[in-house]
Chain A
């Protein structure tokens, strides 16, 4: 296992885009130490900030991470990255495969444009986790994003495909959603604002938009299929999906093919 150990809190935000096991596998420790990671005119390199130990394996551990580390795991296509600590914005942005695990919390836009692989955040996530960057075509785009704690506002904003499982999230979950699935224990006000398609499942929710209409109690096969598929990943979420559900359709201000399921009673 290769290990990057942060020596001290960095003096500026660091951009770790492309620092994947595959990218580091072909480098010596001296070569890796020269990789630029700074975001100012200081020209900080990886070696300036981290103690580096590489063994060419497909697993990378980042020790002592802080919220000043941006784009951790961005572009990951295979292998495993384990982060001990917190991370900054755009965790796993654009990744296409592999697994990315964070023991702490993540900043905004975690999993943005991620097409494949699995991201697991033990703590909280900032706003627009699984959401699109400003002006971007899509947010989460096929990957699986699991958040053990709370996510900020606009979770899954303009999400196009994939699965998000979260304990709780703020307002406007699934806003402008194109497609995909979000499962949560609790979500804030106005879920699905402007959503075209996609599925929201929440044990509890805040105020609903007037453009969401109740379609009654429906025992749909798709929920059983989703429950079976995430049973191994998050058993609690699978149990929620198997509960008797009430369905709301929306957002009828747009295409109206989205839906919100919430347990009956």
Chain B
């Protein structure tokens, strides 16, 4: 099968295999943009992979006071889990330990309740209120219920429940095959920046980039996943290596989104930006990771992403 070319860079004719996930979004607000970001980064820490962290989380957007319910600076974060039960557990832990504790913070649902794709509601403030030891009070504003839990700087205000969204997808990805580490890292950074311009997506790995791509299973008994040896440059020349001789480094980006369309749009933006920049940065090829198409329901074919967005 002939390879595809975009901006002079080889694009393998393959697909990224992604999965259905349970997801929700929160709007975190605080007195200043800095404190809203501190709450958001703390809450979304240790959330790179749902397998090891229980959730995948990240920052979707920085919000101006005009775009938040309480008129304060805010940050929208997305949280993904295997299922609604696992997501709720992580949601409570993360809001309870990382946002409740952050000075001046407040939490609102980040998905409109009238969104046609709204799924099951997860009780949030309605559970955290028990920290208030019976002193918490509820306030209903424009049909939405908020809990006000007394804390040492005043009150922690948190929406009673937040909706999940149906159709969330996790695991959209691109792999950048390059010649030098610094140049390929720059390509990945440019791809991450492009993907992040698309609403409703996060790139949960450090800086949006993962250098330890994995395969399912391992030679060691009991390991669920192990290094993606086919793309490790130090294993070139062995049977099973997928790397041509000129590739000395591979970096991957992983994209989770609230819909298949948002993941596809983010992959498209990243693919175009990376190939455009990659010409001068020694990029050899772009490919995507999959498991043969049997595990994930969503297949994002790179061939379909070559055109500009409509």
Which A residues are closer than 8 A to B by beta carbons?
Answer: 142, 161, 179, 181, 197, 199, 218-222, 224-229, 257
- Whether B137 and A225, one on each chain, are in contact in the complex, defined by CB atoms closer than 8 angstroms, is no
Which partner residue on chain B sits nearest A163 by CB separation?
A: B141
B137 touches A229 (CB 8 A): no
Q: How far is the CA of A220 from the CA of B146 in the complex (A)?
A: 13
Known: A225-B157, A257-B137. 7 other contacts (CB 8 A): A220-B148, A220-B155, A220-B157, A222-B155, A224-B70, A225-B141, A226-B141
B: residues with CB less than 8 A from A are 29, 69-72, 106, 135, 137-142, 146, 148, 154-155, 157
Closest to B136 in A: A257
Q: Which 4 A-B pairs have the closest CB atoms?
A: A221-B157, A224-B70, A221-B106, A225-B70
Contact B138 A222 (CB under 8 A): no
Q: Is the CB of B154 within 8 A of A220?
A: yes
- Cβ contacts A to B, 30 pairs, < 8 Å: A142-B140, A179-B138, A179-B139, A179-B140, A181-B139, A197-B137, A199-B139, A218-B154, A220-B148, A220-B157, A221-B72, A221-B106, A221-B155, A221-B157, A222-B139, A222-B146, A222-B148, A222-B157, A224-B70, A224-B71, A224-B72, A225-B69, A225-B157, A228-B69, A228-B70, A228-B71, A229-B141, A229-B142, A257-B135, A257-B137
- Across-interface contacts of B106 in A (CB, < 8 A): 221
Cβ distance A6 to chain B, nearest Cβ, rounded Å: 36
User: What residues of A have a CB within 8 angstroms of the CB of B135 in the complex?
Assistant: 257
Bound state CA distance, A179 and B71, in angstroms? 24
Contacts of B148 in A (CB 8 A): 220, 222
Collect the chain A residues with CB atoms within 8 Å of residue B155's CB: 218, 220-222
Residues in chain B near residue A225, CB distance under 8 A: 69-70, 139, 141, 146, 157
- Return the chain B residue nearest A225 by Cβ: B70
The smallest C-beta distance from A223 to any residue of chain B, in angstroms, reads 9
Task: Give the chain B neighbours of A224 by CB distance below 8 A.
Answer: 70-72
Shortest distance in angstroms between A88's beta carbon and chain B's nearest beta carbon? 30
Contact pick for B71, options A181, A199, A219, A227, CB 8 Å: A227
Known contacts A227-B71, A228-B69; is A221 also within 8 Å of B139 by CB? no
Instruction: Provide the bound-state CA to CA distance between A161 and B140, in Å.
Output: 8
- What's the minimum C-beta distance from A258 to chain B, rounded to whole angstroms? 9
**How many whole Å from B87's CB to the nearest CB in chain A?**
25
Closest to B148 in A: A222
C-alpha spacing A220/B29, complex, angstroms: 13
* B155: nearest chain-A partner, CB-CB: A220
* Residues on A with beta carbons closer than 8 Å to the beta carbon of B71: 224, 227-228
Q: How far is it, in angstroms, between the C-alpha of A35 and the C-alpha of B148 when the chains are bound?
A: 48
Query: Smallest Cβ distance from A9 to chain B, in angstroms?
Result: 41
Assembled-state Cα–Cα distance A197/B138 (Å): 9
Nearest opposing residue in chain A for B134, CB measure: A257
Contacts of A222 in B (CB 8 A): 139, 146, 148, 155, 157
Instruction: List, in ascending order, chain B residues with CB within 8 A of A179's CB.
Output: 138-140
The residue in chain B whose Cβ has the minimal distance to the Cβ of A142 is: B140
Which residues on A sit within 8 Å (CB–CB) of B139?
179, 181, 199, 222, 225-226
Is there an interface contact between B29 and A221, defined as CB atoms closer than 8 Å? yes
Shortest beta-carbon distance, B74 to chain A, in Å?
11
Q: How far is the CA of A222 from the CA of B154 in the complex (A)?
A: 11
